[in-house]
Structure formats: C-alpha cells, structure tokens
A and B are shown apart, each in its own frame.
Chain A
Amino acid sequence: MSNEINITEQKCSDEMSFEEAMCQLEQIVLKLEKGDISLEESISSFQQGIELSRYCAAKLDEAEKRISILLQDEEGNLVEKDFEL
C-alpha cells in the first residue's frame, strides 16, 4: 500500500525522464497482471498507468527533426546553424 502512495506522489512531472516513465509503467503493468491487489488499487494503478503511457507517447512525438552545426563566427563565438550534407 505504501508503494502505491510513492508512485502517486512522484507523478508525471516535466522532470521525469522518458526512461523513468517507461520503467514505472512497466511496474504497473506487471502489478496489474499479477492481480493480487484490491479492485480499488487496480483501478487507481490503471489510471496512473494510462497517464504514464500518454506521457511517454507525447515525449516520443514532441521532438522536432533538426540537424544543426556549431560554427565559430568572426568573434570566436559558437553559433548554431542548420546543417546540410
């Protein structure tokens, strides 16, 4: 039961890495499949799981393709420019 409270407290914040989220998600899936928790816990874990799943899917989708190259300008500062092969 205390385990459940910990996960709830460490909710999907922007700080959580994709990897952490996936890991927690897997834990929840295994816990649900094992089945030896109460119905209430099953439902709340399920909700958490779905939220984590959405978070991960968003993270996979949020980036934008970009290839940039770092070059030094005349003053010696690094400037980021788009890179073409």
Chain B
Amino acid sequence: MNRIFSVSDVNSYIKQLISNDGLLSGISVKGEISNFKHHYTGHMYFTIKDESSILKCVMFKTQANQLKFIPQNGNKVIVSGYISVFERDGQYQLYASDIQPDGLGALHLAFEQLKNKLQEEGLFDASKKKKLPLLPKSIGVVTSSTGAVIRDIINVTYRRHSKMKLVLYPVAVQGVQAAGQIAAAIKKLNELGQVDVIIVARGGGSLEELWAFNEEVVARSVYASKIPVISAVGHETDYTICDFVSDVRAPTPSAAAELAVPDVEVLNYKLQNYNFRMKSALIKKLNLCENQLQKIKTRPVFRQPYDRINQYRLKLDNEIKHLFRNNEVLIKDKKGQFALLAGKLDALSPLKIMERGYSVVRSSEGNIINRLEQVNPGDMLEISFNDGKANCNVISTSPGN
C-alpha cells in the first residue's frame, strides 16, 4: 500500500536526504552565470549553466560582500558551497560561499607559474638585455598588418626619421595560431638578418586576448633573438611575459617607435653643435698660441738679438783700450827708467870722465894704473884719451896730490 505524504513532508524528506549527503555538503561547481540579480537586500540570485542544464544559486549578503569582483552574466565561474532545499518552493539550489572566475583564474595561475619558471631560468635578467642601436638600418615590426598599431608605428617613425626602412612581418595577435606565428616571425627576422631592431606590438585587450604574448614559445623566441626586441603589448598597465623577456618594454606601440627610431632633427642639431664647438675651440686655441707668440716676440731677446753681443763687443773694446793704454803707460814708464839708468850710466861712463880731463892710464901689460906705487920712473905707460892713446915714459914720481 502506498503511503500518502503531504507536500511539506516530501520536501522535508528530500531536504534531509540532501543535507545528509557528504558530497553535496561541500561542493564546487563550474558553469556560466546567467539571470544574475543583485537584490536590494544584498543577496545575489543567479543560475549557473552548462550546455544542457542549469543550477539555481544564491549567495547571501555576508558572503557576497566578500567577493573581489562583480559577477556578471556570461562570466565563467566556479561556485563553491553546499546544495540544499528551499522547502517552501520545493527547490534545491546551491548556497554559495565563494565564487571564483573560472577561465581567468586558470590563466592567471598559468601566467604566474610561467613567469616564475622563466625568471628562475634567467630569461628576465637585466644583464642579458641588449642595447638598442642609435641609428638602425631598418626596423622589423611583428604585429597585425591591419589596425591602429602598425599605423601608429608608421606615423611616429616617419615623424622622427623620414628615411627609415620598416619591414613588417604580419602575424595574428590573438587566437590559437598567434603564439606560434609570433615566435616564428622573430626567428625568421633573425635568420634574414636585415633588421637591426624588432618591435613586437599589439594593442590593448583582455588577458585572454593578450594571451599569446604570455606563451612560453614566444618568450623563448624573444630570448633567443640576437636582434634587440622592443615589446609593446597591450595598454600601459598590461605586463605580459613578452614584456619581461624583451630587451626593452614600451608602454605603447607609439612609444616603441620612439625608442627604436632616433629623432633625426635632434641628431642633426647635435652634429651642428659639435661642428660649432670644434671650430670655436680650435680658433680659441689658435688665438692663445698667437698671443703667446706675440708675447715672446716682444721680449728684448727677439727685438734686439744682437744686443747682448754688442754689449760684449763694447766691453771687449774697452778692455782692449785699457790694454793699450796700460801698455803705453808701462812702456813710458820703462822708457823713463831706461833713460834714467842710461843717464846714470852715461854719467858713470869713463868717456864722460875722460871728457872732463881724466885719462885712463894703463901699464905696458895693459893693467890699469891708479896708484903711484904701481909706477916707476922709466916705465912705459899708455894713456887713453877720448879720441886716442899716447905712449909715455915716466920721468919721475912724487907722492901726494
């Protein structure tokens, strides 16, 4: 016999059944949000669905306030909580304690994991970053061939250097093909070797849209590039792994072009400035040397180079004059002395004496007779006069004068 129950009994029974089930007491369910309603009471009512079913959910105010994001219809989420029955309506639903973004959460995790792995391997090391060439011969651009990005890059480039060469390597910048194409483009540009710098660029977008630039294959290709890579992906606040690995990160594609392309006007000005400075410096140096030369030229040594010699000449002349004068004096002096002596000699000359009447008496042997005792009567004597001699015979002698 079938027992007959009341509605409340049945609902109550079902509630108990479900409440006692371990699995349903703490469960996480993933699905897409729809029919989302944020009640004025603060409670959230929504359903989550997959391809074939829906599940009603409620999140009460206390837990709802803890959410870090506002759930919206279409969000793929993971709802955690317990299944129970709202007896009055005979409705089972998921009483949510937490809602996590699904796909996005997974992506964030993947991002963090790859970032850490590559960082540890050293792909982000500052020491590995290459310097950008000041004046590249040509620039490679890896981006979509349509859209604002390539247009901006072209505009900024030719504003700065009207003669720059750009080589566009078109790639998909989102979707499953993108990462492979981007990596291949960088590799190919390296092989061709005709560009000096590569810009990898993509406009703003969500994490999913930028995802290709977080893929490992792109990171490795950028790291392996011998040509410096500038990464300009997403908005200023977006950071992708491509940004971390590249040699330079630019906040926007336009900024990337500014980094890659020098402002030719500025460079030309710099050159003019250098020319001017060199000329000025050389002129200054020449003037300095000229002044030095002038100063030296006006020194007495140069104005009258023979002055010194002439001084010596004068001195020499003086000395010679002195020499002669002294000589004359000396000669005079000696002449005088001589004359004196000659005079004396003359005075003492026997001839002078003889002039006075005295004669030199000699014996016949020739001896000088100056004493009476030397003479005897009958001796022959020779008497010398100034102008001759006389032979004499002594007749007699007598002493005394």
Which residues of A come within 8 Å of B, CB atoms?
Answer: 17-19, 22, 25-26, 28-29, 32-33, 35, 39, 42-43, 46, 49-50, 53, 56-57, 59-71, 78, 80, 83, 85
The 4 closest A-B pairs by CB, nearest first: A32-B281, A19-B134, A18-B135, A63-B163
Partner of A70, one of B158, B162, B169, B270: B169
Residues of the A chain whose Cβ atoms lie less than 8 Å from the Cβ of B168:
67-70, 83
Is A57 a contact partner of B268 (Cβ separation < 8 A)?
Answer: yes
Is there contact, CB below 8 Å, between A56 and B282? no
Count residues of B near A (Cβ-Cβ below 8 Å).
Answer: 38
The one of A17, A33, A65, A70 that contacts B133, using a Cβ cutoff of 8 Å: A17
Q: What residues of chain B lie closer than 8 Å to A67, measured between beta carbons?
A: 154, 165-166, 168
How far in angstroms is the closest Cβ of chain A from B47? 47
Q: Which residues from chain A contact B277 at a C-beta distance below 8 Å?
A: 29, 32-33
How many angstroms between the C-alpha atoms of A32 and B271 in the bound complex?
15
Contact partners of A17 in chain B: CB under 8 A = 133-135
Query: In the complex, are the beta carbons of B145 and A22 less than 8 A apart?
Result: no
- List B residues 185-201 near A (Cβ within 8 Å): 188, 192
Indicate whether B301 reaches chain A with its CB closer than 8 angstroms.
no
- In the complex, the answer to whether B286 meets A39 with C-beta atoms within 8 Å is yes
For this complex, 24 residue pairs linking A to B, each with C-beta atoms less than 8 Å apart, are A17-B134, A19-B133, A19-B134, A22-B134, A22-B267, A26-B274, A28-B278, A33-B277, A35-B281, A35-B285, A46-B278, A49-B278, A50-B278, A53-B271, A53-B274, A56-B271, A59-B135, A60-B268, A65-B164, A65-B165, A68-B168, A69-B169, A71-B170, A83-B145
Q: A29-B281, A63-B163 are in contact. Are A85 and B154 (CB under 8 A)?
A: yes
Q: How far is the CA of A59 from the CA of B271 in the complex (A)?
A: 12
Chain A residue nearest to B284 in the complex (CB): A35
Q: Which residues of B contact A (CB under 8 A)?
A: 133-135, 137, 145, 150-151, 154, 158, 161-170, 188, 192, 264, 267-268, 270-271, 274-275, 277-279, 281-282, 284-286, 288-289
Q: Are A39 and B274 interface neighbours, CB within 8 A?
A: no
Residues of A within 8 A of B264 (CB): 60
Instruction: Give the interface SS of chain B, mostly helix, strand, loop or mixed.
Output: helix
Q: Which of B162, B274, B285, B288 contacts A25 (CB 8 A)?
A: B274
With both beta carbons as reference points, the residue of chain A lying nearest to B292 in the complex is identified as A39
- Cβ–Cβ contact A19 & B278, under 8 A: no
| A19 CB to nearest B CB, Å | 4
The residue in chain A whose Cβ has the minimal distance to the Cβ of B280 is A33
Q: Are A68 and B162 in contact (CB under 8 A)?
A: no
Complex contacts, B192 vs chain A, CB 8 Å: 78
Q: A19-B135, A26-B274, A63-B137 in contact; A32/B154 too (CB < 8 A)? A: no
- Bound Cα distance from A42 to B167, whole angstroms: 44
Residues in A neighbouring B145, C-beta threshold 8 A: 69, 83
The one of B161, B166, B270, B275 that contacts A22, using a Cβ cutoff of 8 Å = B270
**How many angstroms between the C-alpha atoms of A56 and B268 in the bound complex?**
9
Residue contact A49 to B274, C-beta cutoff 8 Å:
yes
**Chain A residues within an 8 Å CB radius of B170:** 69-71
A78 to B192, CA, bound (A): 10
CA distance A69 to B90 in the complex (A): 66
Distance (whole angstroms) from the CB of B141 to the closest CB of chain A: 9
Q: Is the CB of B281 within 8 A of A66?
A: no
Select which of A29, A64, A71 is within 8 A of B165 by beta carbon: A64
- By a CB distance below 8 angstroms, the chain B residues around A33 are 277, 281
Please judge, given known A-B contacts A57-B268, A63-B137, whether A43 and B282 are in contact too, CB under 8 Å. Answer: yes
Interface residue from B137, B161, B282 paired with A46 (Cβ < 8 Å): B282
Q: Which residues of B are found within 8 Å of A50, using beta-carbon distances?
A: 275, 278
Chain A residue at minimum C-beta to C-beta distance from B278? A49
The distance from the CB of B139 to the nearest CB of chain A, in whole angstroms, is: 10
Q: How far apart sit A18 and B270, CA to CA, in the bound complex (Å)?
A: 13
Residues on the B chain within 8 Å of A71, using CB: 170
Complex Cα distance, B15 from A32, in Å, reads 95
Q: A17-B135, A60-B271 are in contact. List 12 more A-B contacts (CB 8 A).
A: A18-B135, A26-B274, A33-B277, A35-B284, A50-B278, A53-B271, A59-B135, A63-B137, A63-B161, A68-B168, A71-B170, A85-B154
